[in-house]
A and B are shown apart, each in its own frame.
Chain A
Amino acid sequence: MDTRVAGADYRTRSGGVREAVGSVIDLVGNTPLVNIRNVTRDIPPGVEIYAKLEGYNPGGSVKDRPALKMIEDAEKAGRLTKDKIILDSTSGNTGIAYAWIGAHKGYRVELVVPGNVSEERKKMLSAYGAKVIFSDPLEGSDGAIRLCWKLYVDNPEKYCKLDQYNNPSNPLAHYETTGPEIIAQTEGRITHFVASIGTGGTIMGTGRRLKEFRKDIKVIAVEPDSPLHGLEGLKHMASSIVPGIYHEEELDDKIPADTEESYEMTRRLAKEEGILAGQSSGAALLGALRLARTLKEGLIVVMFPDGGDKYLSTRVWED
Chain B
Amino acid sequence: MAVKVRIPTPLRKLTEGKDEVTAEGTTVREVIDDLEKRYPGIKERICEEDGSIRKFVNLYVNDEDIRFKLNLDTELKEGDELSIIPAIAGGMC
Contacts and interface: CB of A to CB of B under 8 A. Distances in A.
Contacts, number: 138
Contacts of B6: 138
Interface stretch (A30-38, A69-77, A180-188, A197-205): A197-205
B89 A114 contact: yes
A314 B55 CA distance: 9
Report the contact-size class of chain A (Cβ under 8 Å from the partner): 35 or more
Contacts of A143: 9
A234 interface: yes
Nearest to A93: B92
B91 A233 contact: yes
A138 B8 contact: yes
Contacts of A288: none
A117 B87 CA distance: 8
Interface in A111-139: 113-114, 116-118, 137-139
A62 B93 contact: yes
B48 to A, nearest CB: 8
Interface in B1-34: 6-11, 13, 19
Given A140-B8, A233-B93, A263-B55, A228 B88 contact: no
A209 interface: no
Interface residues of B, number: 26
Interface stretch (A39-47, A235-243, A248-256, A268-276): A235-243
B55 A140 contact: no
B78 to A, nearest CB: 22
A116 B10 contact: no
Contacts of B56: 228-230, 259, 315
A164 B23 CA distance: 39
Contacts of B7: 138
Contact of A228 (B57, B83, B89): B57
B45 interface: yes
Contacts of B79: none
Contacts of B89: 91-92, 113-114, 116-117, 137, 140-141, 144, 232
20 contacts: A63-B92, A91-B92, A93-B92, A113-B89, A116-B89, A118-B88, A138-B85, A139-B8, A140-B89, A140-B90, A198-B90, A226-B45, A228-B56, A228-B86, A231-B88, A233-B90, A234-B93, A236-B90, A259-B54, A314-B87
Closest 10 CB pairs of A and B: A230-B56, A233-B92, A227-B10, A141-B91, A114-B89, A198-B92, A198-B93, A232-B88, A228-B10, A91-B89
Interface of A: 61-63, 90-94, 113-114, 116-118, 137-145, 165, 195-203, 224, 226-236, 239-240, 259-260, 263, 280, 303, 305, 314-316, 318
Interface of B: 6-11, 13, 19, 45-46, 54-58, 83-93
Given A227-B9, A263-B55, 11 more contacts: A90-B92, A91-B88, A91-B91, A116-B89, A144-B91, A226-B45, A229-B86, A230-B57, A232-B88, A232-B90, A259-B54
